[in-house]
Structure 1
Amino acid sequence: MSFEKNHMKEEYFVEGMTCAACAKAVERAALKIAGVKSATVNLSTERLSIEAANKIDREMLFETVENSGYSLKEVKSGRKAVMEIDGMTCAACSVAVEKAIGRLEGIKSVSVNLSSDTVSFEYDPDALRIGQVKAAVEKAGYKAGGLITENLAASRLRKEAATLSYKRKLVFSAIFALPLLIVAMGHMVGLRLPIIIDPHINPLNFAMIQLFLTVPIVIAGKDFYLKGIPNLFRGNPNMDSLVGLGTGAAFAYGIFATAQIALGNHVYVADLYFESAGVIIALISLGKYLENLSRGRTSDAIMKLISLSPETAYVKRGNGFEEIAIEETEVGDTLLVKPGMRIPVDGEILEGTSSIDQSVITGESIPVDVQKGAKVIGGTTNISGIFEMKATVVGSDTVLSRIIKLVEDAQSSKAPIARMADIVSGYFVPFVLIAAAVTFLTWILLGYGFAFSMSMMIAVLVIACPCALGLATPTAIMVGTGKGAELGILFRNGEALEVTHKVDAIVFDKTGTITRGRPELVDIHTMGSLDRDQVLQLSASIARRSSHPLDSAISIAYYGTLLQVSSFEAYPGKGIIAVVNGREVRIGNHHFVGLSAEEMELVDKVSSKGMTPVSVSVDGKPAAVFGIADVVKENSLEAVSTLKEMGIDTYIMTGDNTRTAKAIAEQVGIENVLAEVMPEDKARKVADLKKEGKTVMMVGDGINDSPALAEADISIAVGSGTDIAIESSDVVLISDNLNNVPKAIKLSRATIRNIKENLFWAFFYNVIGIPVAAGLLYKVAGIKLNPMIAGAAMAFSSVSVVANALRLKRVRI
């Protein structure tokens, strides 16, 4: 898979959407703008993503979307902060502080809370530093205290506001809906009403009390009428339109029936339908509240990632350390990290040692020991020691920031499997409107009267649920990508998450993927009078002076005291001759050292195991043959075994010779070996597998395998902490643990299965519910769906879809 990078991309928050039809309307509006190549709305995140070849007319975009019945808001880059202020005693002080801060360039808003001695302000971190704010406060005659930055996602705040709004509507409407239901339906189940509102004795009072109880509920549900009905006339009907029409018709008929009762036509007392309007609005408010509550949980993974970044850092200023906002850290700053603190940004340890818990980033539970020179990742936790570090990457370029951005993009994207739901959603609401009209006319023509026919029509309008269709895919994508992030598996978008479940062949790059990517001394065969330790001591004393990878492997393998080297001469492509403690030592290939045919058997034995033989002689006599190899990772065998159990074919591809490649493949259980493949030919090998009808995944380090990664149906880049190449592939494994490859496939399979379940129930619910609401079973079995029951079913259909998606959080991978 490949990605276009020549298009500019913009994102906006969308307000006023309630269902999939709303999302389609916003997409259509955005596509009308000149230059817009694609427009995608994610109902769960309430975001519009636009790709354009050049700069677009934003004013026209905002106006066009507003004419469709919705509104856009820019995704702002501003931040909020709360700072303690000492020295304020009265209102004049608070005004002085507000003025001092407010006149700074980059300040968007400022507000002083005198009772808590704090000032809250929103600012542009690109134009203003917190230090400037503190200086302004000090200049005004007050003391600036501690700082707390609010690094919360705007979408989360908006969701919380929406949830609170639905909760208020629910509580308010329920206060009136419950007595309305008792008054309207109580007498049908044996409840006796007071004489003053008894329908048989005082029918007008019976009607008026219901009218008075319904009016506040209708006011609470005003959005159904103020947004839904206008959208109907704009040609963009949505769920609000259906509910507005259904409850509006019931309420209007109730007023008509009340007027008839007042005129003496008491027969209308049996068909008021106020309870249908009131209770349906209350039930839908309940459903929307629960839906928003559940949808808020789908973004928990993002919020966890955001919360990992500490709000402040201790930066070196002179001889001490000063606490500053995390946004103010700059590359090159020296930072202090104490035990228990989260590391503020990516960097390198300058002084001190510690153990770092990187599990929140890599998914690996074992702490990593670090010392001077080690790289550390922002957002991870310092467990034990205290150390100073140099900031090497800050702001949006840190590993954590890039992960958050990648997960946000993935959660806002659409998977191909959603296209069917999108197509259906575009025609769904108009179809329901037609079905409702046909239902009403049919029952009228059959002679069942206006009230009966209207009841059937209302049931059709309020049982239809485009929300369930619209939420089926994005909620599962959000939870699935979030679950992946927690495991250290990053999916670039919804398409990558979907395609991964189809994989039936995986090609592993050898070096750095199956193996550790560095040569190690793994075997020593001694000859002559010197023992293993003596040969290794002599060899390591020489090897430490060389930069050759094979010599480095020998040097690293020896932990003892090194000997004095008095003479050293390297022969490129052959080996080294040196004098160690008065003894001449040769290290190199067997030709350079000079081995007999008998001694060559050891060389062949080492080579047959896929290792590189290095021969050693001391004073002209053969002393040893070292076996050096790029060692297989501890988890490679387990990962390959799991993939085989899943029915996936595995391949190893390398530029190494066939003997070495087969030896490595045998160690991890891979039968298919593609050896001696030049870098430029790797993509062709992947293409050949695709021609065989396989869905191919390529797993590499994301650096040297770019053509093959691009050619594969799905590509996985295996990284390791700060060395990770996040932008290089469809899926990124933050740690180098290959067990995450089968985990990624299992997660993809679980997510797609969940999406299919959601789509099935969404379609099944509507396919069954609408005909039953229209009265399909009334003639056959006498089953008539009460509009209130239809409303309750609609309200809880979308809740069930979101709840099912949330099950992915608990899936065992």
Structure 2
Amino acid sequence: MTTTHHLDLPVPGINCAGCAGRVTRALTPLPGIEGVAVNPATRRASMRLRGGSLDDVRRALDDAGYPPDLSETRLALSGLSCAACAGRVRRALTDHPLVAEAEVNLASHQARITHAPGLAPTDLARICDDLGYPARVAGGDAPAADPDRDEARTLRRAAITAALLTLPVFAIEMGGHAVPALHHWLHGLMPMRAIWAVQMVLTLAVLAGPGRRFFRTGLAALRRGAPEMNSLVALGAGAAFVFSAVVTIAPGLVPPASRHVWFEAAAVIVTLILTGRWLEARARGQAGAAIRALVALAPDHATRLRDGRPERVAVADLRPGDDLLLQPGDRVALDGIVTEGQGHLDESMLTGEPLPVAKSPGDRVTGGTVNGMTALSYRVTAVGRDTVLARIVAMVDRAQAARLPVQDLVDRITRVFVPVVIGLAAVTFLAWLAFGPGLAHAVVAAVSVLIIACPCAMGLAVPVSIMVGSGRGAQLGLLFRRGEALQRLARARVVAFDKTGTLTVGRPRVTAVHLAGTTREAALRLAAAAEARSEHPLAAAILAEAEGLPLPEAQDVTARPGRGLTARVEGRSVTIGNLEALADAGIAPDPDLIARARADADQGATAVHLAVDGRHCASLSLADPERPEAAGAVARLRAMGLGVAMLSGDQPATARAVGDRLGIADIQAGLTPADKLDRLRALGPDSVFVGDGINDAPALAAAGTGIAIGTGTDVAIESADAVLISGDPAGVARAVALSRAVMRTIRQNLFWAFAYNIALIPVAMGALVPFGGPQLSPMLGAGAMALSSVFVVGNALRLRTAA
């Protein structure tokens, strides 16, 4: 019988009855959707789901242009030990009709679920609990500081306890084989069955104590018909123990030739796997070090100025508008704007930029950065999850939990892997029972097959590499807003840059002052005085160039749109603007100044002419200069085998001049946003576009991978797949290099995980025995299985120094 679920969704894009009608028409044809009702007043759509799902509804609304407002819940999970576990939890969550999407990260042991607002987070946690994976709702604005620390501590205690209990069992059994004198001494001390009884008690303590986790989770999964890694361990260790216990307690049930005990194998298996998981949890903790370092940047307290008096308060109690005092060497508590003082801040922990950044009144400061040697005051502009640091942590956390396309292949394999291994173990048991030396050998061979298999390494290969790679990106000032960008960037073939604000600083500056019968100081002083009240970007550049000069008051200022302006300064008539402005005033241009201005224009500069008392006396060349790192960034990209292009909306002459200086041959200028889209489509899916402006947002969204300059607009950043916080275009090369390193590591990890199983499972089955080869014991299999996961995580940790 199909269960009916009521779904009530906020749809913010509904503004009128026409919108409501379009939403209704989009939803009504969907199969399994009944009773669609859309209210334009409340901007909500309600319906009944009878076989339909929220994912179907969301896709239909997205296609119609009315995306719904969904909720997101993050769960902290316990008991995840392999990719099969993670896949099972994800499928159980996505099978719920009110869940649109679920991501389960084996590396961080967290699940992120996008669901209907009416579905309670506790209901989602209950789904995981029922599967045997205890879950709790992860609260707060940022992820836990160290999600693996408690697990590592628990596993360490379990591993040490298991080792202490296993050591006597191992010494009695293996020591007797290695040292015959010990064997004879033990047999003289007590009968063989008594020695076996001691081993049985100690092994039972290992299995019922530290090893209980394998049986609790693994047998429950078997009962549900969905075996996983814990099931293999439980079956292998349990079979070895039960067989040995029967030999000890009721030897008459076992043929004399097969009366051997394998207590040491059962105990050592559990001990080695617990040790491997402990080492793996420690390594995962190192993998998450980058995001914990970001969280630790935020100080707990700050000095607030109240009526001019400083007071120490908790950061959680601060609100926008509060004035804070920043002492030398202090960390900035929250985002704000400098109100008093001048100094330098170290922003390297957020941007990757090594040099301190100058700050003066009006400049922005970012929480987590470090003040230099000068005290500053600043006003808080953002708190909590609205701060740059909190948004960076959230971006990194989301990227670390993302699923790369390559993960789908791994999931399909691991979903059938454990049942196949159990089947192979059964075949092995029957084959050795029929053709081997006896029952005991058949049991040991089957146990070896169960234990040697390792889907853990397969499942960790991708997520732990993403986790470390995303964290490394954050250290370099590179944020991946979407994890799949890590995979796509590795395939990049061409990088297209916007010009203004991306390859250039985005603000015009005076690059040259040409004079005729006046001094530089006099020309700048008069020009800046006339432009003092103008809001034109070129006026701001002239004022910046004249900074420090005494500026007289300008009178009778008259702006001439598209020309310039006229004014009286110190009783003198001043005209400033283009050649048309001079012509309108009847002023003859100076041929030498015009020639030099045209030469600068050929290099992309804009000329601003100054005339005083009817005489053309100066020409100021203004240009948007290239970022100092731009030429090096282009050169490195080309050295990496990537094509480099420029897609600009600026004038062709200006774009060509900038491109020539930076070494870019493929220059396309005068483009509209639609033109940029067409060019990017022509470049193909392996293209990268780097931009910063509002008009770049469509191109950033349409490119194979969009990278936004972090100093650009919020619209551009939200449309991009990755963000360069510092605005340094050299970060594009670092992003590509990091992506290539991540994908190379993933390939290495997957090769190791699959090759390990392909090579060792047949050996454990005894395929080499007929040819005089070895057969792996259960203990060696357990050790190899544990080490494979540690190897995969350790290999991924090398990414901490990538790019």
The bucket for the TM-score relative to the shorter chain is 0.7 to 0.9
> CA-to-partner distance for each residue in 1:171-213, whole Å, 9 max, x for gaps?
1111122221121112322342265632998322332232233
Q: Shift in Å at residue 471 of structure 1?
A: 0.5
Measure the CA separation in 1 of the matches of 2:310 and 2:716: 33
Residue 226 of structure 1 is matched in structure 2 by: 216
Cα gap change, 1:724 to 1:735, in 2 (>3 Å): farther
> CA-to-partner distance for each residue in 1:125-182, whole Å, 9 max, x for gaps?
xxxxxxxxxxxxxxxxxxxxxxxxxxx85472x5222111111111111112222112
Instruction: Report the TM-score, using the length of structure 2 for normalisation.
Output: 0.87
Paired AA for residue 253 in structure 1: F
Residue 428 of structure 2 is matched in structure 1 by: 439
Paired AA for residue 237 in structure 1: P
1:75 aligned to 2:69? no
Q: Shift in Å at residue 67 of structure 1?
A: 2.8
Q: 1:277 aligns with which of 251, 266, 270?
A: 266
Residue 250 of structure 1 is matched in structure 2 by: 240
Measure the CA separation in 1 of the matches of 2:144 and 2:800: 23
Cα gap change, 1:486 to 1:702, in 2 (>3 Å): farther
Q: Is the Cα–Cα contact under 8 Å of residues 362 and 721 in structure 1 kept in the other structure?
A: no
Q: Is the Cα–Cα contact under 8 Å of residues 229 and 244 in structure 1 kept in the other structure?
A: yes
> CA-to-partner distance for each residue in 1:263-322, whole Å, 9 max, x for gaps?
9987656x2111110111111111111111111111111110111111112223445333
Cα gap change, 1:722 to 1:677, in 2 (>3 Å): closer
Q: Shift in Å at residue 755 of structure 1?
A: 0.7
Could you tell me which runs of 5 or more consecutive residues in structure 1 were left unpaired when the two chains were aligned.
Answer: 79-151
Q: Is the Cα–Cα contact under 8 Å of residues 197 and 205 in structure 1 kept in the other structure?
A: no
Q: 1:536 aligns with which of 524, 542, 558?
A: 524
Q: Is the Cα–Cα contact under 8 Å of residues 661 and 675 in structure 1 kept in the other structure?
A: yes
Q: Shift in Å at residue 54 of structure 1?
A: 4.8
> CA-to-partner distance for each residue in 1:93-135, whole Å, 9 max, x for gaps?
xxxxxxxxxxxxxxxxxxxxxxxxxxxxxxxxxxxxxxxxxxx
Q: Is the Cα–Cα contact under 8 Å of residues 399 and 722 in structure 1 kept in the other structure?
A: no
Measure the CA separation in 1 of the matches of 2:122 and 2:105: 22
Q: 2:626 aligns with which of 629, 632, 649?
A: 632
Q: What are the residue-to-residue correspondences of 1:145-184 with 2, within 5 Å?
A: 153-154=143-144, 156=146, 158-184=147-173
Residue 607 of structure 2 is matched in structure 1 by: 613
Q: Identity of counterpart residues, as a percentage? A: 38
Q: Shift in Å at residue 723 of structure 1?
A: 7.6
Q: What are the residue-to-residue correspondences of 1:202-351 with 2, within 5 Å?
A: 202-219=191-208, 220-260=210-250, 271-351=260-340
Measure the CA separation in 2 of the matches of 1:263 and 1:197: 26
Cα gap change, 1:197 to 1:721, in 2 (>3 Å): farther
Measure the CA separation in 2 of the matches of 1:263 and 1:658: 92
Residue 451 of structure 1 is matched in structure 2 by: 440
Q: Alignment partner of 1:391: what SS?
A: strand
Measure the CA separation in 2 of the matches of 1:318 and 1:659: 56
Cα gap change, 1:564 to 1:784, in 2 (>3 Å): closer
Q: 1:660 aligns with which of 640, 654, 663?
A: 654
Cα gap change, 1:625 to 1:62, in 2 (>3 Å): closer
Q: Is the Cα–Cα contact under 8 Å of residues 261 and 268 in structure 1 kept in the other structure?
A: no
Paired AA for residue 782 in structure 2: G
Q: Is the Cα–Cα contact under 8 Å of residues 40 and 414 in structure 1 kept in the other structure?
A: yes
Q: 1:785 aligns with which of 753, 776, 783?
A: 776
Paired AA for residue 242 in structure 1: L
1:688 aligned to 2:688? no
Q: 2:72 aligns with which of 1, 9, 13?
A: 9
Q: Shift in Å at residue 616 of structure 1?
A: 2.1
Q: Is the Cα–Cα contact under 8 Å of residues 692 and 713 in structure 2 kept in the other structure?
A: no
Measure the CA separation in 2 of the matches of 1:327 and 1:5: 32
Moved more, 370-379 or 558-567: 558-567
Residue 55 of structure 1 is matched in structure 2 by: 118
Q: Shift in Å at residue 373 of structure 1?
A: 1.8
Paired AA for residue 617 in structure 1: A
Moved more, 680-689 or 630-639: 680-689
Instruction: Report the TM-score, using the length of structure 1 for normalisation.
Output: 0.86
Cα gap change, 1:376 to 1:57, in 2 (>3 Å): closer
Cα gap change, 1:183 to 1:721, in 2 (>3 Å): farther
Paired AA for residue 508 in structure 1: F
Cα gap change, 1:601 to 1:265, in 2 (>3 Å): closer
Q: Shift in Å at residue 259 of structure 1?
A: 2.6
Q: 2:796 aligns with which of 788, 801, 805?
A: 805
Measure the CA separation in 2 of the matches of 1:60 and 1:555: 62
> CA-to-partner distance for each residue in 1:209-250, whole Å, 9 max, x for gaps?
322331221122111112211211111211111010001000
Q: Is the Cα–Cα contact under 8 Å of residues 75 and 125 in structure 2 kept in the other structure?
A: no
Q: Shift in Å at residue 533 of structure 1?
A: 3.5
Residue 546 of structure 1 is matched in structure 2 by: 534
Q: Is the Cα–Cα contact under 8 Å of residues 309 and 344 in structure 1 kept in the other structure?
A: yes
> CA-to-partner distance for each residue in 1:593-645, whole Å, 9 max, x for gaps?
14459454334222211111122223323222221111111111010011111
Q: Alignment partner of 1:627: what SS?
A: strand
Cα gap change, 1:794 to 1:52, in 2 (>3 Å): same
Q: Is the Cα–Cα contact under 8 Å of residues 34 and 56 in structure 1 kept in the other structure?
A: no
Cα gap change, 1:624 to 1:362, in 2 (>3 Å): same
Measure the CA separation in 2 of the matches of 1:434 and 1:259: 29
> CA-to-partner distance for each residue in 1:399-458, whole Å, 9 max, x for gaps?
000001111111111111111111111111001000100111111121431111111100
Cα gap change, 1:557 to 1:19, in 2 (>3 Å): same
Measure the CA separation in 2 of the matches of 1:200 and 1:320: 82
Q: Is the Cα–Cα contact under 8 Å of residues 415 and 493 in structure 1 kept in the other structure?
A: no
1:749 aligned to 2:743? no
Paired AA for residue 386 in structure 2: D
Paired AA for residue 533 in structure 1: E
Measure the CA separation in 2 of the matches of 1:164 and 1:364: 36
Residue 502 of structure 1 is matched in structure 2 by: 491
Measure the CA separation in 2 of the matches of 1:495 and 1:377: 28
Compute the RMSD of aligned alpha carbons.
2.4
Q: What are the residue-to-residue correspondences of 1:478-627 with 2, within 5 Å?
A: 478-527=467-516, 529-558=517-546, 559-563=548-552, 565-594=554-583, 595=588, 598-599=591-592, 600-627=594-621
Q: Is the Cα–Cα contact under 8 Å of residues 195 and 202 in structure 1 kept in the other structure?
A: no
Cα gap change, 1:552 to 1:160, in 2 (>3 Å): closer
Measure the CA separation in 2 of the matches of 1:687 and 1:650: 16
Cα gap change, 1:316 to 1:459, in 2 (>3 Å): same
Q: Is the Cα–Cα contact under 8 Å of residues 478 and 722 in structure 2 kept in the other structure?
A: yes
Q: Alignment partner of 1:13: what SS?
A: strand
Q: Shift in Å at residue 725 of structure 1?
A: 6.2
Could you tell me which runs of 5 or more consecutive residues in structure 2 were left unpaired when the two chains were aligned.
Answer: 1-61
Residue 113 of structure 1 is matched in structure 2 by: none
